[in-house]
Every structure is written in C-alpha cells, then in structure tokens.
Amino acid sequence: MSGRSGGASSGLTWSVLREVKCAELEQAADGWGRVSNRADAARDRIEGQLLPGLRDTQRGEAPDAAVRGLRRLGMNFQYIYTECGLLRTTLNSLAHEIKTQQRVLQGALDDAAALRFTVHADGSVTYPAAGEGLVDGKPLAGGTASGVPNPGMVPPSGLVAPNPNAGKAQDIADRVAQAVRAAADADWRYTRILRSLKAHEGLGVPVATWTDAAADAAAVRDAARGYLRDAIPHDASPAERKAWWAGLTDEQREEYLAVYPDRIGNLDGIPALVRDAANRDNLQLLMGKLEGRDDDDSATKLAALREIDRQLRAGPKAGEPPMYLLGIGDQGNGRAIVSYGNPDTARNVAAYVPGLNTALDKEFAEGDLKRARDLSIASNRHGAPAAAITWLGYDAPQSPDGLRSLAVAADGRAEEGGRAFHEFMGGIKAANDHEDPHMTAIGHSYGSRTVGGAAQHPGGIPGVDEIVFVGSPGVGVDSADDLGVGRDHVFVGAAANDVVTKLPSKAESVLGVAGVGFGGPAAAYAFGDLVDRRNDDVWFGRDPASEAFGARRFEVGDGPPLIGRGKPTIDAHSEYFDPELDKASVDNMALIAAGRSHKIKTEDAR
Amino acid sequence: MTVVSAQRRGSLLGVVDRFWRKSDYRMTVINNDVDVPAIYARTQDGFQVSLIVADKGQVHFDVDSPCVRHSEVADSTSQATAFLAPDAELIPRPNIHSDFWSATRS
C-alpha cells in the first residue's frame, strides 16, 4: 500500500483495497509476536536462572563482569520483547482497520451488484434509467454518481433528479469513497508508527532508547485503541475481569501485555503473576518516560522507581518472600503496590495502607515497602503461607505541618482512597486460589482513616476478616462495630508516646490551633489537652484506642517520649512496623494477619 | 530446624530468660501465651534480642543492632547447620530431631 498522505487523492483505489491480503499482515504480526516471546523467555532465563546462579555461587572480578554482561543482555532482550510486541500489535491493528473498511466496501459492491449498477475504477457508480418523468411519463434517464468521502460536508440539493436509482447510486458511491478514504488514512497513520519503531544502533540500550520506547508504546496504544483497548473491562467487577482474562487466547494476552502493561498491571481481579509481569515492563517504560524530563516531581518519582527496580532485580534471598509488583504509576503523587509473597496462592493476605505525606519517593520505596516485607516474614513464621502488601493506590494528603492544615481536603482523599482500596481488595479476593482466604487490612496514621472509609461501603471491605489501626488519628467512625468485621476483629496499636493518636478533635483544635504556629504539633497537642482533658475524640472521630471505641488494643512499644532526647520528636508514630525498634508490635500484627489473633499480647484500652 | 517439644519449651524459655536477666538485659515485652510465648529484651548497649515460639513450635531468635548508619551487611561466613534450598520462600517448619530438645518425656 502507499505511504503517501491520506485522503481520496492518495492513489488508493477501491479495487486495490479489496485485494489487500490482511491475512499476510496478521502472519507478519504473528512472526513478530514469536520473536517477542522468545526474547521474553530469554530474558526470564537470564534474570531468573543465570544471574541468581552466578551471584549465589561465584565471587570475584570475572563473575562480576559476567553479571554486568548478562544484565545488559537481559536489557537487550527486554527491549526486543517490548518493541517486537508493539510491532505485532501495530500490524494486527492495521489489519483490523483495513478489514473493517474492506467489509464496508464489500457491502457497497454487493448492493451495486444486486441493483445491476456499475462501479467504475474511480469509484463512481452508473445507474440505469428508471421511474417515470413528471411530464411525459417515460422512464428517467440513467446517470453516474460520484462518491463523496464526507457526505455531511455537501449540503443536499433540493433539485435532485427523481430517478429512484440516483439516490441509491449516490449512497453506494459514498460508501465506496468513505471506505477508500478511511483505509488510506489508516495506511498513512500506521506507516508513520512503523517507521518510528526503530532501535538505536549498537548493543547498548541507553536511557534515550527507553524514553523512545515509551513514546512508541504511546503511539501504538493510540492507534490500536479500537482494536484492543475497548475490550478491557474497566467497569466490570473483579470477578468478571478474572473471567475475562481467563477467556482470552494466549495471543490476545500477549498483545495486551505488550501494548497496555499499565492497564493490565493495575487491573484488579486478574492473576498476580500477570500483573507483576505487566508492571515490570511498565516500570521500564515509566523510567524511560521520566528520564526524559528534568522537573523535580519526575526526579523524585524516578528515584523511587529505580529503587523498586533495584529490589526487583536483586531478588529474594533463601527463606525470604519473593516480590510481586501489583501496581505502578506516575499519576498524581505516584502509585506503587508491592506484595511480598504471592497473594493468589497465600492463605493469609495482609495489605497495609500508608498515611499522611506518603508519596512515590525514595523514602517510600525503601521504608514503606520494607514494612510489608518485614510483616510478611513475621506472618510466615506464625501460620500458613502469607503475603503482605504495601498499597499506595491513592494520593495520600501531603502536608508538611501535619493534619491541621488539611482539615477540609482530608476526608475527601480518604473517601477516594477508600473506594480504590475497596476495589483492590475485591481483586485480591477474586484472584486468590483459596475458597475463603484470610485477609487483613492495616491502616497506619491517615491510612487508618482511608481503611475506615473503605469499610463504609456496603458489605465492608471485600474478603477482609481483620482490621488493624496503628498510630491512628481516628478512622471516621465512632465504634469498632461499624467496620463490617465485628468488634473482636478490630485491633489497635497506639504507642504511649505517639502524639498523632492523641491529636485533639477539630472542635477542640479551634482553641488549640493557636499553638501550631509557635511550637508545632507538640505544642498544639499540649494546648488541645489543656482545652479538653480526658476526651475520647481525636482528629477523625473517636480515638480507636479508647475503651468506648471497643477495639482490641495490642501491645506496642511506648516509643521515645515527645520531648526526651533534647528536642521534640514524633518517632513514636513510626515505629509500629519496624522490627528493629518495636518487634512486639510487628509480631502482634503478624499473629493477626496469620489468623491467630487470640494469641496476641494485649494492652488495656485508654 | 530443630524440633523443640512442648515439654522442653519451658526449659528453653527458662534458660534464655535467666541468662538475659543475669546479663542485665531489660525485658521489654513478654507474651505468656502457652502456644506462642515470646520474650523481647534490650541489651545495655541498645541491641534488641527476642525469642519467639511460632507455628508448629518453631523457635526464632532475632538480634537487631541499635541505630547505625545504613550499610550493606555481609552474609554470614559460618556454614548453616541445616540445608536451605536457595529458592526456598519460607524457612521450613521444625524438621530436625534432637535427643534432648525434641524429647516428649520430661
């Protein structure tokens, strides 16, 4: 087909369009697909077998050099996989569009044949005499109609010939012209895309190549919208999505993975292994995209993505849970969902929602992910195979001064995040192999308000049996009975020295807020406390550690005092997950996640 | 991983508890549960040590160093006493018999 500009003047005729062999395009697509698959398998072999084997058994300069060489080879295969996968879908998508126009054309030609009209090489249609003249009653003369590619552009004339064939011929000619024009347009668009799917010279896969690959993926996606994307069931339930994925052929799955790794990777309900594979690919594309930018926000996210990439490549040590990337994205403050342990095969699954000021940055990639990892290790000691997840699937509020400055926005963010978390847990439940997996939702700090929001949806959080709040400034409800799991399955960890769990309520803060400007949260707390001693209310409702709330309080360390090491510190707010600082807290959460909550070490309510 | 029988569990906990107290460790948390007892303690120089009994009576000792600058920690050079497959995702449950610790008669 021609590569010249589109439109009726492209030189493409209807007879050429009719003869285009789309099956050949599809065969070519299959060929690229096979190359892509082989590259993918080769990469898996390098990263899954060769590299770990070398690392575990060899030390020294030669093995180190071999590791570097293999890494580069792995990157090369990754790139081949991505680009060949894009080529495959581009060709399939082109065939899809051409076939659509061939059907339009064939319909018009069939109609013409049935009416005994003649379709000429230039697309005009000749029709015979028919009807009767108004004056003499004789049949009206035949004629020729020329097609108009955009019929809406030509105003209908009031003086059309009354020959009944004229209108039909015009319609046929228009359809032929439209099919030819649409096909020429597709030809032009796909030619451009195929020309851009080119690699740089040489064996290195430099940053620019990945930036380029990210742009390639965007272009192919845009073109293949009609062919692939509309079928992704974004609005379906997690169970329906699982069924949708199970019903696809291998070829279809490969195409979705190659072209829409971002959408498949974040689609709640499909298997964790699929999401992981898609997100690992998308991670490379995202890093490529962000490497092409030089603003602070991109640099912050890029540092986090690189750290996640480093951890994924390092792989687990013996006896440690493997890592699954269940979600990744650069929208808003960034998204990352990481599971330690396979959440589909695990009997016990816990998901942790981080809180205030959490965003996709290096601190998150190191600290927040480690929390799930440590919890997974501890849970696995206490029961059946467990997976623990860090879920950053929403924009947590950002406020350097703490909760006070975001009184208005905060509830909204929690509700939004609650909806997303609700859906995510629905996906975990649907994808899990067990009939009734044991599931735990853990909210830290503001994340506990998000979990509280998720629990307010009808039926509570899907599949969740236990809810844990640590360092909570309130969860949006006043009783452990209102969270959908029963008060015996709601647990609270509140360190004696954690000021966040004692933030005075909004009503009290009207008086207490005067302290913020002078002494930060510490002074504000002191003010609030003076204003109203012995009150159960905290920032987002009743203190979940209070007796009136009715949750079970488990033992955690006291944490360092607010003003004890010379300067004010709120470290007591962030030690709950850290086995190096508060092992008892981690073990208690692990027992709950392992379904052995009757064994936890409890502490009296406040 | 050594099988510590329910009958010997108390002895093990007692030995450890006595030694840690004698060494001036400060006991931070003690879980007295019959099945999953645990002792958490802190040494004078800030190390956290713990002994927990977990699933199937598996005993875990953990030692965590106090706050230091983050750095890579080299793997232990001593040979492990039990085989662990390099791709194992979990530490196996107790599977090694000890005439003393696994005895079911006191």
Tell me the mean pLDDT in the region A489-515: 65
DSSP per-residue string spanning A171-189: HHHHHHHHHHHHHHHHHHH
Residue A569 is predicted with a pLDDT of 66
pLDDT at residue A213 tops 50: yes
A522 within some domain: no
Tell me the mean pLDDT in the region A191-200: 80
Between the CA of residue A531 and those of A386, A519, A549, what are the distances in Å?
Answer: 45, 16, 22
Distance CA A227, CA A241 (A): 18
pLDDT at residue A334 tops 50: yes
Q: Which range of residues forms the domain containing residue A71?
A: 8-197
Residue A515 is predicted with a pLDDT of 34
Q: What are phi and psi of A263, to 5 degrees?
A: -75, -40
Q: Which neighbouring-strand residues pair with A125? A: A119, A145
- CA-closest candidate to residue A473, choices A416, A391, A528, A423: A528
Categorize the per-residue pLDDT at A258 as very low, low, confident or very high, splitting at 50, 70 and 90.
Answer: confident
Distance CA A349, CA A449 (A): 20
Angle ∠(A251,A252,A255) on CA atoms, nearest 5: 90
Domain boundary among A137, A169, A197: A197
- CA-closest candidate to residue A486, choices A462, A470, A467, A458: A467
pLDDT at residue A229 tops 70: no
- CA-closest candidate to residue A244, choices A233, A229, A234, A258: A233
pLDDT at residue A345 tops 70: yes
Distance CA A550, CA A479 (A): 6
Question: Position B19: which residue type?
Answer: F
Which distant-in-sequence residues (6+ apart) come within 8 Å of A399 by Cβ?
A: A356, A357, A405, A406
Distance CA A190, CA A170 (A): 30
Which distant-in-sequence residues (6+ apart) come within 8 Å of A502 by Cβ?
A: A525, A529, A538, A543
A47 within some domain: yes
Distance CA A466, CA A597 (A): 9
Kindly state whether B65 is in contact with chain A, defined as any CB-CB distance less than 8 angstroms: yes
A243 within some domain: no
B29 vs A268, more confident: A268
Count of helix runs (H) and strand runs (E) in chain B: 1, 4
| CATH code, A486 | 3.40.50.1820
Report pLDDT digits (tens) over B39-87. Answer: 999 999 988 899 999 999 999 999 888 777 777 777 778 877 777 777 7
Categorize the per-residue pLDDT at A5 as very low, low, confident or very high, splitting at 50, 70 and 90.
Answer: very low
Domain boundary among A162, A197, A232: A197
Categorize the per-residue pLDDT at A269 as very low, low, confident or very high, splitting at 50, 70 and 90.
Answer: very high
Kindly state whether B99 is in contact with chain A, defined as any CB-CB distance less than 8 angstroms: no
Report pLDDT digits (tens) over A141-173. Answer: 788 888 776 655 555 555 555 678 888 888 999
pLDDT at residue B105 tops 80: no
Residue A405 is predicted with a pLDDT of 53
A423 within some domain: yes
Report pLDDT digits (tens) over A62-96. Answer: 888 888 888 888 888 888 888 898 889 889 889 98
Residue A11 is predicted with a pLDDT of 77
Shortest Cα distance, chain A CAs vs residue B72, angstroms = 13
Q: Which neighbouring-strand residues pair with A126? A: A118, A144
Residue A219 is predicted with a pLDDT of 83
Which helix (H) or strand (E) segment is A426 a member of?
A: helix A407-431
Residue of B nearest to A602 (CA): B31
Kindly state whether A143 is in contact with chain B, defined as any CB-CB distance less than 8 angstroms: no
Predicted TM-score (pTM) of the model is: 0.79
Which distant-in-sequence residues (6+ apart) come within 8 Å of A317 by Cβ?
A: none
Q: What are phi and psi of A477, to 5 degrees?
A: -130, 165
Q: Do B88 and A601 touch (CB under 8 A)?
A: no
A318 vs A437, more confident: A437
Domain boundary among A152, A172, A197: A197
Shortest Cα distance, chain B CAs vs residue A52, angstroms = 9
pLDDT at residue A523 tops 50: no
CB A194 within 8 A of CB A86: no
pLDDT at residue A303 tops 60: yes
Q: Which neighbouring-strand residues pair with A145? A: A125
Residue A398 is predicted with a pLDDT of 80
Kindly state whether A382 is in contact with chain B, defined as any CB-CB distance less than 8 angstroms: yes
A497 vs A593, more confident: A593
List the 31-70 stretch of A: residues with Cβ below 8 A of B. Answer: 52, 56
- CA-closest candidate to residue A200, choices A191, A190, A211: A211
A432 vs A66, more confident: A432
B28 vs A1, more confident: B28
The residue among B26, B29, B77 with the most chain A CBs within 10 A of its CB, best to mutate, is B29
Residue of A nearest to B34 (CA): A599
Residue A474 is predicted with a pLDDT of 84
DSSP helix, strand, coil percent of chain A (3-state; round to 5):
55, 10, 35
Which two three-digit tokens encode residue B101? 């610790």
Between the CA of residue A592 and those of A321, A456, B57, what are the distances in Å?
Answer: 19, 22, 17
CB A193 within 8 A of CB A223: yes
Kindly state whether B6 is in contact with chain A, defined as any CB-CB distance less than 8 angstroms: no
Nearest to B64 among A382, A580, A594 (CB): A580
Which distant-in-sequence residues (6+ apart) come within 8 Å of A447 by Cβ?
A: A352, A353, A354, A355, A358, A396
Which two three-digit tokens encode residue B43? 């040494």
- CA-closest candidate to residue A346, choices A439, A462, A424, A266: A439
- How many Cβ atoms are within 10 Å of A8's Cβ, its own excluded? 17
Report pLDDT digits (tens) over A444-453. Answer: 988 999 999 9
b/e per residue, A515-537, with b = 16+ CB within 10 A?
bbeeebbbbbbbbbbebeeebbb
A239 within some domain: no
Q: Do A382 and B31 touch (CB under 8 A)?
A: no
Kindly state whether A565 is in contact with chain B, defined as any CB-CB distance less than 8 angstroms: no
Which two three-digit tokens encode residue A356? 């205030």
Which two three-digit tokens encode residue A582? 């508060």
Tell me the mean pLDDT in the region A569-581: 79
Residue of B nearest to A315 (CA): B87
Distance CA A588, CA A381 (A): 12
Between the CA of residue A446 and those of A440, A471, A510, what are the distances in Å?
Answer: 17, 8, 20
Residue A6 is predicted with a pLDDT of 39
DSSP helix, strand, coil percent of chain B (3-state; round to 5):
20, 25, 60
- CA-closest candidate to residue A491, choices A423, A576, A581: A576
Give the mean pLDDT of chain A. 83
Number of domains in chain A: 2
Residue A216's Cβ-side half-sphere holds a number of Cα atoms within 13 Å equal to 28
The fraction of chain A above a pLDDT of 70, given in percent, is 84
Q: Do B55 and A316 touch (CB under 8 A)?
A: no
- CA-closest candidate to residue A134, choices A156, A163, A157, A158: A163
- How many Cβ atoms are within 10 Å of A368's Cβ, its own excluded? 24
Distance CA A133, CA A131 (A): 7
Shortest Cα distance, chain A CAs vs residue B105, angstroms = 26
pLDDT at residue A508 tops 50: no
Q: Find chain B residues with C-beta within 8 A of A382's C-beta.
A: 36, 54-55
Categorize the per-residue pLDDT at A271 as very low, low, confident or very high, splitting at 50, 70 and 90.
Answer: very high
Tell me the mean pLDDT in the region A572-578: 83
Residue A393 is predicted with a pLDDT of 94
Give the 3-state secondary structure of residue A462.
coil
Residue A48 is predicted with a pLDDT of 81
